[in-house]
């Protein structure tokens, strides 16, 4: 099983960027998936998550209204559309997937790293001021 994150880069503040996470080795169409990020010297923090059915999305307060998580189950791919980027968004972004199919969690669990079993290698997003 592999999650391959891509789409990171160096952008100016206020710009937009779209991250992708291509899954291989198994299908994740029935699994919760999420994005986390880790800034230098800091812990890996929750960014966004999407339920296995795609009907529910969850966001960290810091990105609400600016980031949008989505999934294309036909392509087995997760996305994170980021707009209005700020220097504080600079981090390595990781995609993650829950190994349990068709499992629904209480809202807080989506923000918990322990909910996720598979992790991508990360893609670096750098936002200059």
Distance CA 7, CA 100 (A): 27
What percentage of the chain carries pLDDT values higher than 90? 88
**What's the pLDDT band for 64 if we cut at 50, 70, 90?**
very high
Sequence-distant (6+) residues with CB within 8 A of 39 are 88, 90, 91
The residues, ordered by sequence, that sit 6+ positions from 87 with a Cβ below 8 Å of its Cβ are: 13, 127, 128, 129
- φ, ψ dihedrals at 76, nearest 5°: 55, 45
Tell me the mean pLDDT in the region 81-101: 97
Q: What is the mean pLDDT of residues 60-89?
A: 97
> pLDDT tier at 53 (50, 70, 90 boundaries)?
confident
Q: Which residues pair with 12 in a beta bridge?
A: 128
Contact 110, 52 (CB under 8 A): no
């Amino acid at each position: 099983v592999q999650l391959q994150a891509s789409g990171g880069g160096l952008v100016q503040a206020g710009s937009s960027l779209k991250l992708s996470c291509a899954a291989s080795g198994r299908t994740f169409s029935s699994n919760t998936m999420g994005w986390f990020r880790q800034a230098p010297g800091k812990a890996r923090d929750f960014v966004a998550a999407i339920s296995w059915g795609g009907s529910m999305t969850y966001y960290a307060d810091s990105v609400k209204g600016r980031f949008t998580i989505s999934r294309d189950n036909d392509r087995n791919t997760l996305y994170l559309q980021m707009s209005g980027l700020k220097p504080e968004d600079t981090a390595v972004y990781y995609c993650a997937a829950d190994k349990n199919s068709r499992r629904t969690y209480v809202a807080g669990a989506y923000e918990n790293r322990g909910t996720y079993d598979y992790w991508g290698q990360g893609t670096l997003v750098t936002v200059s001021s």
